[in-house]
Structure 1
Amino acid sequence: LLEDDFQFILCEGCRQESTSLKLLPCLHTLCLGCLSKTKHIGQCSVCQMPIPQASGIPDMDNLLFTNLQARLKVYKKIMGGVDLFCDNCKKPGEFWCCECEEFLCTKCSEAHQRYLASHEAKRVMDIRAGSAKDFLEGTQKTSNLSCSNPTHKNQSV
């Protein structure tokens, strides 16, 4: 399901999705697995530029790629044909609010729109009719980048 347009968010070493992508000073992005393999060398496995951190693992997470992966994971869930359930009442989920990051049934969606009029809950069937690019464009206007540091839970960048 990962379209060719989104191959850039994979680890540049193993070409896999990872929740622990690190941004190197050379601007390449590697997962912790690939970095631990080259830790003793202390350089980027793509361009061989030295990594200045003594541990060989940069401190900076690639938050943009990590957040894009999280959004694409939701898109894959929507497209995957699995049953989606309302996060509030557990009835069939027919809408997705990208601001709340919740699936909603019709009744909860109506209440949601009444109290959170600035949020746009999109119909799941409309999302399925579009592309991943359409889905991401719809979420970029409203979603914030969240810090991946576990001690900064739910803090926006």
Structure 2
Amino acid sequence: MAKKPSDDDGCLDDLLDCVICIGPFTNPKMLPCGHTFCLACLQSDHNASKQAGRRQFSKIRCPVCRDETQIPPNGIAGLRNDFKVNKIKVAMQKNKKLNRRRNNTCNPCATRNKTVHAEVYCVECNTNYCQKCMRVHSKNAAFTGHTVIDKSKQLDLNATDPPCQIHEDEESHFFCQLCKTIVCQMCIIEDHADHDVITIQMACDQQKQRFSQLEHVIVGKVRRRSDTIAHLKAKESSLLQSCKEVCIHAAWV
């Protein structure tokens, strides 16, 4: 069960609200009739009905259409999870994050009703900062190691890091050099705390540098091979000319 957020994010958010608590779904459970509610809301509603003697203990009635459903052996928690709601919530969170990243206004200043141009964007905070607010951010030990992007150098604001394969609500902003895999913040805490982890951008830059060095080596080898081939062709031409001269001389003898 969750409290109603103070900001109204539009009609789509309303579709993600539980009709019992009038707040965003928490642990959404779908009844066979197709209606979805928070697990805690269903449990509270069912307990209230039992105390009032309005229904059987083994069945739960949909608060919307009144259809009755047999409660699973492991209780109301055993009802089907509404994964669709969770996926929509994740998609909306990513969209909000992208919209904030596109914005060029300093977010902390905006909370003080000030409109100040943002100079950088912090990936972990999902926040735009002006120079003044960024100095405060940098001095805070809690923000050490955060990935800060110069907004003037952002080439593609539509680009987002891939979702984590383990933690579906997280994006994989980092690359573990030991395991050779992309990871999210939760992955680092749980499994990669002692590993050498860098941002995906840093990993890309390192790979670009390696490819550039490899290209330089390959170009050098190709050039040397080309010189060798040209030298051999010149030798071949010289030998052929010598053979012709020998044959002509032999014919006159």
Instruction: Give secondary structure in 1 for the equivalent of 2:37.
Output: strand
Does residue 44 (structure 1) correspond to residue 62 (structure 2)? The answer is yes
Counterpart code for 2:67: M
Which residue pairs with 1:63 in the alignment? 83
Q: Match for residue 23 of structure 1?
A: 30
Contact 2:26 2:39 in 1 (8 A): no
Q: 2:201 aligns with which of 96, 108, 113?
A: 108
Q: Contact (CA 8 Å) 1:78, 1:84: kept in 2 or not?
A: no
Rounded to whole Å, the distance in 1 between the matches of 2:19 and 2:27 is 13
User: Structure 1 pair 92/37, CA: closer, same or farther in 2 (3 Å)?
Assistant: same
Quote the residue 1:12 is aligned against: 19
Structure number with greater CO (CA < 8 Å, separation at least 6) is 1
Aligned to 1:72: 92
Counterpart in 1 of 2:56? none
CA drift at 1:36 = 1.3
Q: Contact 1:96–1:102 at 8 Å: present in 2 too?
A: no
Instruction: Confirm or deny: 8 A CA contact 1:11 1:18 kept in the other structure.
Output: yes
Q: Which residue of 2 aligns with 1:146?
A: none
TM-align CA RMSD: 3.5
CA offset digits 1:111-155 (Å, max 9, x no partner): 19x79xxxxxxxxxxxxxxxxxxxxxxxxxxxxxxxxxxxxxxxx
Distance 1:12 1:57, change over 3 A: farther
**Higher Rg:** 2
Q: 1:85 aligned to 2:92?
A: no
TM-score (norm 1): 0.54
- Greater share of helix residues, 1 or 2? 2
Identity %: 19
Which SS does the other structure have where 2:160 is aligned? strand
For structure 2, the residue ranges without an aligned partner over 5 or more in a row are 1-7, 50-59, 101-106, 109-120, 126-144, 165-170, 175-198, 209-253
Q: TM-score, normalised by structure 2?
A: 0.36
Unaligned runs of 5+ in 1: 116-157
